[in-house]
């Protein structure tokens, strides 16, 4: 009980609730601005600092063929490749969620700085741009899928 009361005291003293609401709104605005040009991004949504980036199947024929192959192997394959690249290339741990495995969860801590949020926005933009423009994103992931199927 003491730990709970101490946590509530820190939340109030440091004004973390209202700060999370403000930073979260700005964070989602930045994400929307950075990702609006990419057809694979359906929506950015959230509450406070908990945000989600929902993806959708691409419309470009070449990318759609890759995506459909992924989806047939496993519906979460595309999202897991996004998570893998964010971690491997950007040192940012994220998680794919949602009933259809197409939402990337961004859940920074309440003490996150604006600079750290800016770094996340740039990082996810880089990874999404790669998925939108580069066959290497898809071919590497297909190699991963082949290895997974052969297990």
> Given this model, what pLDDT does residue 122 score?
98
Domain ranges of the chain: 2-149
Q: What is the C-alpha separation between 87 and 101, in angstroms, rounded?
A: 17
Each residue's pLDDT tens digit, 43-54: 999 999 999 999
CATH class of the region 2-149 = alpha beta
Nearest to 128 by CA among 66, 85, 69: 85
Q: What is the C-alpha separation between 18 and 75, in angstroms, rounded?
A: 37
**151 pLDDT higher than 90:** no
Residue 16 pLDDT class (50, 70, 90 cuts)? confident
């Amino acid at each position: 009980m003491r730990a709970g009361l101490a946590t509530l005291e820190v939340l109030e003293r440091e004004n973390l609730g209202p700060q999370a609401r403000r930073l979260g709104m700005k964070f989602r605005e930045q994400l929307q601005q950075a990702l609006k040009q990419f057809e694979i991004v359906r929506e950015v949504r959230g509450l406070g600092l908990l945000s989600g980036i929902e993806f959708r199947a691409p419309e470009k024929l070449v990318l759609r063929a890759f995506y459909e192959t992924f989806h047939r192997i496993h519906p979460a394959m595309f999202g897991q490749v996004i998570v893998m690249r964010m971690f491997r290339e950007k040192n940012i741990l994220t998680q794919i969620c949602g009933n259809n495995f197409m939402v990337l969860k961004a859940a920074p801590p309440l003490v996150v700085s604006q600079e750290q949020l800016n770094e996340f926005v740039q990082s996810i933009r880089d990874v999404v741009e790669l998925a939108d423009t580069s066959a290497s994103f898809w071919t590497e992931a297909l190699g991963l899928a082949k290895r997974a199927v052969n297990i």
